Amino acid sequence: MRSAGISALYTAAVALLIATPAFSQPPAFEAADLKPASPDNHERKGRILPGGRIEIPGQSLKDLMVMAYGVQDDMIVGGPKWVDTFRFDLVAKGPADAQLPQLREMVQALLADRFHLVIHREDRPMPAYVLSVGKRPAKYRDGDGGRQTCNWNQLDDGLRERVCKNLSMAEFARQLPGTGGIGIDHPVVDETGLKGAYDFEFVVGMYARKTDGSPVQEGPTIFMALDQIGLKLESRRMPLPAIMIDRAELPSQN
């Protein structure tokens, strides 16, 4: 999967995180080190560490935009050729209590500053998934207002349990395409109408592809798993806001 090194940090697409009000002051990192990638960093994974520190090694500008805007790379269009090929290491320090949406905004501001990145949005029809409320009784519960987390627990027989806490459905939808091993390869749009933050968990089997590209699923699919907790995920073709790169420059200094 492309950008696998930081897939745990971002995911899929909705318009809400793309736009920042024109006259608002975006949040900024306390310190940020952005430099050309070390050759041995391409296979390392990105991490969010305690205390607001993030480490994102060996990523292109497009990869960083994927994280910053919560989209997939096929929703980013235009720009010079190097946005896909030149790779960078990013180490940054934000507030200790920063949540993922705030960190995304900080990365957006950093890219605008260091790369002189200018974008606009343009709706384009594309395949997507829609997350909505299902027919089964809801098994998601109101969160306690603590930190947003969504982690895997390994179970027996190749099954895995996803445990999410204090997560909004909008954020859950954004993260689904970047959730490894579940086979969601298109943006997910939240149409649940649920505005709170929730605790929930579900169990899925391992998803993989054969050499001929056909999917293999052992155990419950993500569609089955979400159905069990009162949510529905279905495919649909719909207009979504692609990010058009109007300007991008290689950073001249850190």
- Give 179's DSSP letter: S
Q: Are strands 206-209 and 215-218 parallel, antiparallel or unpaired?
A: antiparallel
Per-residue model confidence (pLDDT) at position 253: 55
Q: How far apart are CA 152 and CA 248, in angstroms?
A: 36
154, two tokens: 């390994």
* pLDDT of 14 above 70: no
Segment 236-248 mean pLDDT: 94
Order of all β-strands in the sheet with 87-93: 31-36, 87-93, 53-60, 47-49
Element spanning 204, H or E: strand 197-204
Alpha helices (runs of H) in the chain, residue ranges in sequence order = 61-69, 82-85, 100-114, 169-175, 222-228
1 pLDDT band, cuts 50/70/90, is very low
Q: How far apart are CA 97 and CA 99, in angstroms?
A: 6
- Higher pLDDT, residue 28 or 127: 127
Per-residue model confidence (pLDDT) at position 43: 55
| The most confident of 26-30, 123-127, 136-140, 185-189, by mean pLDDT | 136-140
Per-residue model confidence (pLDDT) at position 12: 33
Report domain extents, the chain: 4-124+242-247, 125-238
Per-residue model confidence (pLDDT) at position 27: 74
Per-residue model confidence (pLDDT) at position 72: 81
Reduced to 3 states (helix: H, G, I; strand: E, B; else coil), residue 109 is helix
Per-residue model confidence (pLDDT) at position 96: 83
117 pLDDT band, cuts 50/70/90, is very high
* pLDDT of 23 above 70: no
47 pLDDT band, cuts 50/70/90, is confident
Residues 6+ apart with CB under 8 A from 107: 64, 67, 68, 90, 92
* pLDDT of 132 above 90: yes
Sign of CA dihedral 111, 115, 121, 127: negative
Per-residue model confidence (pLDDT) at position 28: 83
183 pLDDT band, cuts 50/70/90, is confident
